[in-house]
Amino acid sequence: MNVPLPPTNGGCRSAPILKERGQREVFCGLTGIIWLHRKMQDAFFLVVGSRTCAHLLQSAAGVMIFAEPRFGTAILEEQDLAGMKDAHEELDREVARLLARRPDIRQLFLVGSCPSEVIKIDLARAAERLSQVHAPHVRVLNYSGSGIETTFTEGEDACLASMVPVLKDTTARELLVVGALPDVVEDQMLGLLAEMGIGPVRLLPARRIDDTTAVGPNTVFALTQPFLGETHAALERRGARHLQAPFPFGDEGTTAWLRVIATEFGVSEETFEAVTAAPRARARKAIAQASEALRGKSVFFFPDSQLEIPLARFLTRECGMTAIEVGSPYVHDALHGPDLDLLPAGPQIAEGQDVDKQLDRARAARPDLTVCGLGLANPLEAEGLSTKWAIELVFTPVHFYEQAGDLAGLFSRPLRRKAVLQLEAAE
Amino acid sequence: MKLTVWTYEGPPHVGAMRVATAMKGLHFVLHAPQGDTYADLLFTMIERRNHRPPVSYTTFQARDLGADTATLFKTSCQDAVDRFQPEAIIVGASCTAELIQDDPAGLAETMGINIPVIPLELPSYSRKENFGADETFYQIVKALAKPQERTARVTCNILGPTALGFRARDDVEELTGLLSEMGVDVNVVAPLNATPSDIACLPAAHFNVLLSPETGEAAARWLEKNHEQPYTKIVPIGVGATRDFIAEVAAITGLPCKPDESRLRMPWWSRSVDSTYLTGKRVFIFGDGTHVAAHARIARDEMGFEVVGIGCYNREMARPIRALAKEYGVDALISDDYLEVEAAIEKLSPEMILGTQMERHIGKRLGIPCAVISAPVHVQDFPARYSPQVGFEGANVIFDTLIHPLVMGLEEHLLTMFRDDFEFHDDAGPSHHGGKAKAKVEVEEPPQPVDDNVIWLSDAEKELKKIPFFVRGKARRNTETFALEKGLHEISLDTLYEAKAHYAR
């Protein structure tokens, strides 16, 4: 019961993957700062980069967050490049100034960018040095969010991976849940796990530095986001064991994800049913309503966040859609395998991008719904294709039971809107 | 290294994209890593463009570095030419590609492409977006403009409007109409909607109208020097500037320029008695140099405001803005650091800000109304309706824009008369803006000692709070200055009213 059945025509795990290299219409990893700085309330993200990096953060935030954001860019200038100034001294000065103005900051992330990587500013060394200067009040870590190394959500992955080596050791048998979730969703998840008697549950990232997240050989961890490949590897290096599961999107994904954890912690079938029955029923009802406009429609995913495969699984199995192409920046078998198993065979699975060729395929297929980035959405709408901005899927609470209906609603809204608008003359 | 939270301008290659996206039949091959494609959304989302910007990004990754990024550039360049079949291409590098020094210009030259290839130098670590746009447009004009005969009729070109320009779309339309009423035809508008072949025809015009000095001045100067085309120095934003512009065009062309002013409502709107309450409102003006200069004149001479500070974020305009500030008897703030702008506004405590989207947020934080008059732009700055800034209709539009954020005449009086009303009070905000009015909360604050040990006694402090918020800052400052001048260390109720009488006008 309740174990999702693989599709009768086979899944997509062994399907050939179309690998493309060309122009990629994606964000770089710096973009993750937009949500990470809200999630970690005592952290500041200092990008060491160019004016382009600052402009990206400002533009990607869409609306500027003027309540003094907990991120900023140390913009490299000509003198820094010409070696007329010591970049490390400059950085020390800017960090000291920043921390003096923001005494509430307890963790500082030095975030590498394309320019800082190319001119090889050693931010690991800088982080070590600055940690010594500002300890114990502030912990300084570093990671790269550069576009030459990271694609969009990989920035969060790099950030979380940078935190793994400094997590305290523990031998406790504990569950660690990994991935930045909106607080309300995180609380729902913790509630479900607590009702099953699983706890204490540790979180990465924790909301504040003083929290008690630790890791060790008896730690088991579950991922809530499908883009945490590096963090996954870093945790395994610390001896923790990954609980492989489909990602908790929709009724089926959430149930499967919880079941893997419940089985690991010996939760009885009765308890599991008792805890999940009511929210499952609510999720099903909400999905049924919200997915009415989606049934029988086709969907085409451009690569964006690595959420594409789990979401395609949700849309095809729970909302009655057909997937034509599912593009993802990267496909990791260890992370995406369980979702690929469940995704009915048929769609082209694509990794990487050559955007003009992919646009040609989308135009030829004329999907009912195209999931793509902000740079492509209006141009495709102008060609008569309905689109869903992919970035909204990362910025909206969409995980677990209570959000399953909202998730379906995000996809159905563009189609419902198209149906309600009557802009032509009456006759 | 300089810590930046928000920026007024993007990097220079974004300026180049504004030119490329404005034009038709031109393609931009940009040597850049993945992620720099974010810039597409500025055009497709903020400006709601229905086409992708004509930009091919080479999208190099870490593993390409040290291998062959040059070949990647050549492949992208060839693909772009084959797929999009442009009339000409521009090639350049973003900040990261500038560091790896592949020389896109040299590479493109060796490829034997049979259309014009225009190389761009976009120094990312010293210059910014406006420079990038100005330089790109100049290079395109220099490469493509062909010597030719003047048109038989008197014609001009309109230079400077780009994609993502502040009201560029409507300004071009308004200006074209105004020129036509003066008997001047428009030969070419560029870069907005121009093709490379249109650019070739620029020298056929008799003169140039420089609509946006920030993005068109280098090209205008080059055309003046090399094709003997004079260009206009006045940007017709505001009633006075528009009339001066008409006179300038008359002087250049020798035509009797008498355009129809029947659509111009602004002078009467400002003279009508309802506008009396605008008199002497203290305004702070900040934005790009061109719009700031125009609005300083509008604010003082056409609205009857008092200009208490002006400034611009683009250093290229520092000199004219400093000169203008001197004329207005205020200090010029030349800065692209928004924290510095915020500090200046806080210190001057104006009753209104004419600024950019950044100042709108500063105003929100400080409780000061703000009208947006300049880029950087936001989706709100691309209204569906016709909304020019230049010419007579522009003057009408600006009048509306400047009064909209303010508490209106009679409402202001009522607020002053019944200061203790629990519903109708300062924090409720202007009533025509909607939003839920906040109930008044009485908070007892101890008198705040200010600089030089002037102390507010409690009844004076209480009385100060009864003064409407939009003049409270001024009242506080005036009273403190008055107290200091009189050598007083305490401000009583009497001091407050003595100061009021002292500053009465």
What's the pLDDT score for residue A175? Answer: 97
Structural domains of chain B, ranges and CATH numbers in brackets: 12-137 (3.40.50.1980), 155-253 (3.40.50.1980), 266-403 (3.40.50.1980), 451-502 (1.10.8.550)
Is A374 close to B41, i.e. CB distance below 8 A? yes
- Judged against a pLDDT cut of 70, whether residue B418 lies above it is answered with no
What's the pLDDT score for residue B434? Answer: 57
What's the pLDDT score for residue B443? Answer: 47
Beta-carbon contacts of B239 under 8 Å, excluding residues fewer than 6 positions away, are: B264, B266, B267, B298, B302, B392, B395
Identify any residues that bridge with A110 across adjacent strands, giving them in sequence order. Answer: A46, A142
Sign of CA dihedral B248, B249, B253, B256: negative
What residues in B contact A387, CB-CB < 8 Å? none
Q: CA of A382: which chain B residue's CA is closest? A: B50
- Judged against a pLDDT cut of 70, whether residue B259 lies above it is answered with yes
Decide which of B55 and B465 is more confident: B55
What's the pLDDT score for residue B437? Answer: 52
Residue pair B210/B235 in contact by the 8 Å Cβ criterion: yes
Structural domain boundaries, residue A216? 168-278
Q: Could you give phi then psi for residue B342, rounded to 5 degrees?
A: -60, -45
- Asked whether residue A334 is assigned to any structural domain, the reply reads yes
- Asked whether residue A330 is assigned to any structural domain, the reply reads yes
What's the pLDDT score for residue A325? Answer: 98
Mark whether A301 and A407 lie in a shared domain: yes
- Tell me the pLDDT of chain A averaged across its residues: 93
What's the pLDDT score for residue A87? Answer: 87
pLDDT tens digits, one per residue of B191-209: 999 999 999 999 999 999 9
- Residues B441, B420: Cα–Cα separation, whole Å: 11
What's the pLDDT score for residue B502? Answer: 83
CA atoms within 13 A on the CB side of A14: 2
Mean pLDDT within A32-38: 91
Q: Tell me the range of A105-109, A206-210, B375-379 where mean pLDDT is highest.
A: A105-109
pLDDT tens digits, one per residue of B219-229: 999 999 999 99
Question: What is the gyration radius of the CA atoms in chain B, in angstroms?
Answer: 26
- Residues A11, A337: Cα–Cα separation, whole Å: 10
Q: Tell me the range of A261-265, B105-109, B346-350, B445-449 where mean pLDDT is highest.
A: A261-265
Is B36 close to A52, i.e. CB distance below 8 A? yes
What residues in B contact A78, CB-CB < 8 Å? 123, 125-126
What's the pLDDT score for residue B416? Answer: 59
Those of residues 431-450 in B touching chain A at CB distance below 8 A are none
What's the pLDDT score for residue B412? Answer: 65
- Asked whether residue A201 is assigned to any structural domain, the reply reads yes
- Asked whether residue A425 is assigned to any structural domain, the reply reads no
pLDDT tens digits, one per residue of A329-375: 999 999 999 999 999 999 999 999 999 999 999 999 999 999 999 89
Mean pLDDT within A405-424: 93
Q: Cα–Cα–Cα angle for B401, B405, B410, nearest 5°?
A: 110
Mark whether A268 and A330 lie in a shared domain: no
What's the pLDDT score for residue B481? Answer: 85
Mark whether A298 and A411 lie in a shared domain: yes
- Asked whether residue A4 is assigned to any structural domain, the reply reads no
Element (H, E) at B38: none
- Residues B281, B285: Cα–Cα separation, whole Å: 12
- Residues B288, B311: Cα–Cα separation, whole Å: 8
Looking at B188-253, list the stretches that DSSP marks H as alpha helix, in order from N- to C-terminal side.
196-200, 213-227, 239-253
Instruction: Pick from B48, B60, B75, B125 the residue to mutate for testing the A interface (most A CBs within 10 Å).
Output: B125
Domain boundary among A278, A313, A331: A278
- Residues B394, A247: Cα–Cα separation, whole Å: 55
Residue pair A152/A28 in contact by the 8 Å Cβ criterion: yes
pLDDT tens digits, one per residue of A164-184: 999 999 999 999 999 999 999
CATH label of the domain that carries residue A232: 3.40.50.1980
Instruction: Pick from A59, A97, A117, A351 the residue to mutate for testing the B interface (most B CBs within 10 Å).
Output: A59
- Judged against a pLDDT cut of 50, whether residue B444 lies above it is answered with no
- Residues A384, A414: Cα–Cα separation, whole Å: 12
- Residues B445, B449: Cα–Cα separation, whole Å: 12
Size of interface A-B (CB pairs under 8 A): 186
Q: How far is B37 from chain A (nearest CA, A)?
A: 6
- Asked whether residue A113 is assigned to any structural domain, the reply reads yes
Sign of CA dihedral A118, A119, A120, A124: negative
Those of residues 341-370 in B touching chain A at CB distance below 8 A are 357-358, 361-362, 364-365
Mean pLDDT within A42-49: 96
Pair of tokens at residue A252: 């089926």
Element (H, E) at A31: none
- Asked whether residue A9 is assigned to any structural domain, the reply reads no
Coil, strand or helix at B185: strand
What's the pLDDT score for residue A239? Answer: 97
Out of A58, A85, A356, name the one closest to residue B7 (CB): A58
Domain boundary among A278, A311, A342: A278
Percent of chain B with pLDDT over 70: 90
Mark whether A53 and A145 lie in a shared domain: yes
- Judged against a pLDDT cut of 80, whether residue A154 lies above it is answered with yes
- Asked whether residue A379 is assigned to any structural domain, the reply reads yes
Mark whether A295 and A268 lie in a shared domain: no
Is A23 close to B44, i.e. CB distance below 8 A? no
**Buried-exposed string B169-189: b where 16+ CB fall within 10 A, e elsewhere:** bbbbbbbbbbbebbebebbbb
Q: How many domains does chain A have?
A: 3
pLDDT tens digits, one per residue of A3-19: 788 898 889 999 999 99
User: Which positions of B are catalytic?
Assistant: 274
pLDDT tens digits, one per residue of A274-323: 999 999 999 999 999 999 999 999 999 999 999 999 999 999 999 999 99
What's the pLDDT score for residue A47? Answer: 97
CA atoms within 13 A on the CB side of B163: 29
Mark whether A128 and A191 lie in a shared domain: no
Is B34 close to A68, i.e. CB distance below 8 A? no
What's the pLDDT score for residue A1? Answer: 46
Mean pLDDT within B333-341: 93
- Tell me the pLDDT of chain B averaged across its residues: 90
Query: Tokens 């250093």 — which residue?
Result: B315
- Judged against a pLDDT cut of 80, whether residue B505 lies above it is answered with no
Residue pair B285/B307 in contact by the 8 Å Cβ criterion: yes
